[in-house]
Chain A
Amino acid sequence: MTGPPVRSGDAPLEIVFEDVSKFYGEVLGVNRVTLTIRPGITSLVGPNGAGKSTLMSLMTGLLRPTNGRVRVLGRPPYDAELMRQVGYCTQHDSFPPGLTGRRFVESALALHGMPRSEARRRAGEALERVGLTGAADRRIGGYSKGMRQRVRLAHTIAHDPLITVLDEPLNGLDPMARAEVIALLRDKAASGGFVIVSSHILHEVDALSDRIVILDGGCVMADGEIHTVRGEIRAHPLQVLIRCNRPDLLAASVLAQDHVVEVKMHADRRGLLVATRDADRFYLLLNRVALEDGIGIESVTPADDDVHAVYRYLVGGDGEPS
């Protein structure tokens, strides 16, 4: 068989970084990161050099921390048996020479100690899942960028890992393939697994993730559910767009509140953009004002309660990682 299972009732279902720093000589990779990742989809977001790939390599045992400790399911990440539960799709677009897509995935499963028939079956399933069945028996050297990305994804998921780590998994994929990959990741998370993703595509991070970790300069700037993180950024009041039939009356009512910082009339004069330091109090106020003053409210939408805004406020720049 393929060795003793790592998944057990006693193993803590978490990935823990305890005050972890990683230096490459004098260059800082990550600095005093303390983080706990639990099952679900966690996105690592940050500019180039923020430390996303470093964190991924630390949690998969490819790197060792300079200081601090990493624990994956209660074990050190460079434990060979732990790799049965971990799949890591790195950013490196490189392959062993001379292999077809099928052989590449099968060889990974053979390293798990699987019999050839089992490896072949699982490889076929993984390749079908990423839509590469037709090209599976062609050499990887002749694949397009998108196909190479997909075969690496198949290689990562073929052994059905509990923890799937993906560094820029949507790079080079067309929109349909992206949607398929996102669906695959959601399935993995829904079945109780860990999915840790780094991505530059913030709107997809927004749509995909249960939780984000924002990194900049090797440090964790924010960590948690997007809405929770947004709510804790006090320096930037929450912006709320309200569409209603009496924006002038609404503006007068809300401006009197101490937690409302700014009110702007929308260009079409059928809505207001309100900046408030206390979202909960504002929503309660909105309900009361709407009832008391008879204002018909069509919609209430947070205008900056997303990853773009959170990234912009915490990291700066134009809201997109480079």
Chain B
Amino acid sequence: MRLPSSAEAVEAVQAVREAPWSLWSRQLRAILALEARKMTSGRRAAFPAFLALAPVLLFSIRLGVLSLMNAGAPTNPEMASQEFANFFQTVLLRLVVFFGCVALFTALFRGEVQERTLHYYFLSPVRREVLVAGKYLAGLLATIVLFCGSVGLCYILFFAPFGRAAVLEHLRGGGLGHLGAYLSVTALACLGYGAVFLALGLLQKNAVVTSVGVLGWESFNFMMPPLVKKISVVHYLQSLCPVPVNEGPLALIAQPTPPRFAILCLVVVATALLVLAAWRLRRVEVLYTGE
């Protein structure tokens, strides 16, 4: 493989410098503003918002019942950490965040086709790559706000039955770090699953079947050989969780991925999927009659 000459390298750097970055950033902001308005006015964010609210309501009800019964917390804080970890990985990550991302990210382009509004973007001087980036960022911001908010509230509500003093002691004693880790894992889950489902929404007319397949793959990841485990989002997310969970007797144990490498893998895979999505979007034709 021939290395680029110095002249070619200078040319490449020049091309990057001359790229209309300021135009693209203004266009990105315009896309973000428009998408934010669509999500708050339309029904696109309704199901993800419901998913985010559901566990919060569940824990609120649990807190209320325990308060009414004067029962106090059912376990001690150490065991509660393990219980929350189990709940986070089995319910919040694999169900709430997963399906929320399916609903929101697959609809970013598919929803435009169904609403017959995609042509407005295609008739504007926005490069397809900028459009993909803008919509992805809009979806990412929305899901991070919804699901990190949900996880944070669930965490506080989960430990609330122990009383204020115990909660503060837990937070000072490492609980705050755990909360930060859960919020980071949630954000990275949105990043990874968001890219997967944005690409799927462009590659397939109906991404439901494939999404179920992805869910199956992610759910049974614990049974897969160590090398195959790495072909999933959840493997890297689990590596970043502060409290490991017992995956049962059928689980095949694999060496956890170092945190920095896990984050890097998620970012690289998400970027590759977005590049694929942009390539696909260049070939999309606006034809609503078939929808």
Q: A: which residues have CB within 8 A of B?
A: 1-3, 24, 57, 60-64, 78, 80-84, 86-88, 90, 92, 94-99, 103, 107-108, 110-113, 115, 155
**How far, in whole Å, are A88 and B122 apart by their CA atoms in the complex?**
10
Known: A61-B122, A96-B117, A97-B41. 20 other contacts (CB 8 A): A2-B23, A64-B285, A80-B125, A83-B123, A86-B123, A87-B123, A92-B116, A94-B116, A97-B38, A97-B115, A98-B40, A99-B41, A103-B37, A107-B33, A108-B120, A110-B27, A110-B33, A111-B124, A113-B23, A155-B120
Q: B: which residues have CB within 8 A of A?
A: 20, 23, 26-27, 29-31, 33-34, 37-38, 40-42, 115-117, 119-128, 282-283, 285-288
Q: Which residues does chain B contribute within 8 Å of A95, judged by CB atoms?
A: 117
The answer to whether A62 and B122 touch (CB under 8 A), given A92-B288, A110-B33, A113-B27, is yes
Residue from B41, B42, B125 with most neighbouring chain A CB atoms (10 Å)? B125
**How far, in whole Å, are A95 and B23 apart by their CA atoms in the complex?**
25
Taking a contact as CB atoms under 8 Å apart, the answer to whether B42 and A98 are in contact is: yes
Q: Which residues does chain B contribute within 8 Å of A155, judged by CB atoms?
A: 120
* B22 shortest CB reach to chain A, Å: 8
**How far, in whole Å, are A88 and B123 apart by their CA atoms in the complex?**
7
The answer to whether A90 and B125 touch (CB under 8 A), given A110-B33, A113-B27, is no
Q: Which residue from B27, B123, B282, B287 sits with its C-beta under 8 Å from A60?
A: B123
Q: Which residues does chain B contribute within 8 Å of A90, judged by CB atoms?
A: 119
Q: Which residues does chain A contribute within 8 Å of B30, judged by CB atoms?
A: 107, 110-111, 113
B134 nearest CB neighbor, chain A only: A111
B283 nearest CB neighbor, chain A only: A64
The answer to whether A63 and B287 touch (CB under 8 A), given A97-B41, A112-B125, is yes
Q: Which residues does chain A contribute within 8 Å of B33, judged by CB atoms?
A: 107, 110
26 A-B pairs within 8 Å (CB atoms) are namely A2-B23, A3-B23, A61-B122, A62-B122, A62-B123, A62-B285, A78-B282, A80-B127, A80-B128, A81-B125, A86-B123, A88-B123, A92-B288, A96-B38, A96-B115, A97-B42, A98-B41, A99-B41, A110-B26, A110-B29, A110-B30, A111-B27, A111-B34, A111-B121, A112-B125, A113-B26
Q: Which residues does chain B contribute within 8 Å of A110, judged by CB atoms?
A: 26-27, 29-30, 33-34
Taking a contact as CB atoms under 8 Å apart, the answer to whether B125 and A83 are in contact is: yes
Q: Which residues does chain B contribute within 8 Å of A113, judged by CB atoms?
A: 23, 26-27, 30, 125
**How far, in whole Å, are A48 and B41 apart by their CA atoms in the complex?**
35
Q: Which residue from B20, B116, B117, B121 sits with its C-beta under 8 Å from A3?
A: B20
Q: Which residues does chain B contribute within 8 Å of A24, judged by CB atoms?
A: 287
Q: Which residues does chain A contribute within 8 Å of B34, judged by CB atoms?
A: 96, 107, 110-111
B37 nearest CB neighbor, chain A only: A98
Taking a contact as CB atoms under 8 Å apart, the answer to whether B116 and A111 are in contact is: no
**How far, in whole Å, are A62 and B283 apart by their CA atoms in the complex?**
10
